[in-house]
Amino acid sequence: MDTQHLVKMANQIGDFFDSYPDADEASWEITNHLKKFWDPRMRSALLEHIQKHHGEGLKDIVLASIRRHRDKLAPTS
């Protein structure tokens, strides 16, 4: 999985929701989008990138959202 491509896509999602006036809503919507539309393997790769590389390249809003709602993004067995 190309992590840099995942980072780019996650940042594009963050850019869209960054325009929301309510930061909590924006954070939830980023997480919701990743949960709904990203394959579990994609989410796992992004979570691994955050763990290993501290989210290098991710915009603050995206990284904060993922850290805040990590339990919603982790694939279930």
Yes or no: say if 58 and 48 are a contact pair by the CB < 8 Å rule.
no
Q: What is the pLDDT of residue 40?
A: 95
CA geometry: angle 66, 54, 15, nearest 5 deg: 45
Mean pLDDT of the 21-47 span: 96
Q: What is the pLDDT of residue 8?
A: 98
Assigned token pair, 76: 């279930």
Q: Could you tell me the pLDDT band of residue 1, with boundaries at 50, 70 and 90? A: confident
Yes or no: say if 61 and 25 are a contact pair by the CB < 8 Å rule.
no
CA geometry: angle 43, 47, 39, nearest 5 deg: 5
State how many domains the chain has. Answer: 1
Q: What is the pLDDT of residue 77?
A: 52
This prediction has a pTM of 0.92
Range of the domain at 8: 3-73
